[in-house]
A = this chain, B = another copy of it.
């Protein structure tokens, strides 16, 4: 099968890989119908995260089930499926509490590499959610978004306690941040403040439900949120970047007792404990338990109630994945969809 492999920072190749196959009886193999490039794939691409030799890439996917292991009960060959970027059994206590990304048997799909024609999905019954049928072509990007960025933005908005009457600020105007804006709107937030300096992203943020845009960053950005909220700060804030500046921008944008949902994979962040103590915020985040939200998100997409696929602003065939990485690295694209 053809698949994306990263050899070194900046060196991404599409090449022949061994076909994905059933290893465990709980596995499925899917024919990937669309995959994409994640903001987190840029960390090794930029040399910020170390690579351990040539590495198959990709952890987001939708596709059609081709094979199932002997112990797979709920997922059938031929099902059109969406799964999270973390495989989970969906039965352990952690899963049942809604934290499938931290399932006691979790498998990070990045270890599989879903930017490929075929992908092995561990724990298929717990991981995959079948759509109501084969989707219309225009729904494919949105269903793919559910696999990671939408589910992550949704989790962050839930962690930020987005809901009726609430003011929610969103730090980060990438695909996850924009998805969080959409999620906050769906969850009923009254006012949604997006931080962005990019005209196109500002426009999509507004389309997704942002009521206010702030161009300032860091302390100045947080101060603007305070100004817009009677001096109190937002009820909840989504952090979808992962730097020290963005973490404090988020924390300081929240009011005392407010909620910060952080989903940017943090890099080089050291939070001063005493500063955090006196903010009095609720801080919750980590790898999003996307599986928790998938059934609801798939239905919203199927019903055309939301259109999160708009975060994809560049579509390329799998063979051109290297150009997709370059476009995201150079910020020419927010999010790249790879067709197969």
A interface residues (Cβ-Cβ under 8 A, vs B): 93-94, 97-99, 101-102, 104, 230-232, 242, 244, 247, 255-257, 262, 265-274, 276-287, 289
Contacts and interface: CB of A to CB of B under 8 A. Distances in A.
Contacts of A282: 282-284
A99 B287 contact: no
24 contacts: A93-B230, A94-B256, A97-B255, A99-B280, A101-B256, A104-B232, A242-B273, A244-B273, A247-B273, A265-B274, A266-B274, A267-B273, A268-B273, A269-B272, A270-B273, A271-B271, A278-B286, A278-B287, A280-B285, A281-B284, A282-B282, A282-B283, A282-B284, A283-B283
A101 B280 contact: yes
A230 to B, nearest CB: 8
Contacts of A284: 281-283
Nearest to A285: B277
Contacts of A255: 93-94, 97
Contact of A97 (B231, B242, B257): B257
A289 B232 CA distance: 17
Most B-side CB within 10 Å, residue of A269, A281, A287: A269
Nearest to A274: B266
B280 A287 contact: yes
A273 B266 contact: yes
B270 A266 contact: no
B265 A277 contact: yes
A268 B283 CA distance: 19
Contacts of A247: 273
Contacts of A231: 104
A272 B242 CA distance: 12
B98 A257 contact: yes
Contacts of A262: 277
Nearest to A102: B256
B270 A271 contact: yes
B272 A277 contact: no
A327 to B, nearest CB: 27
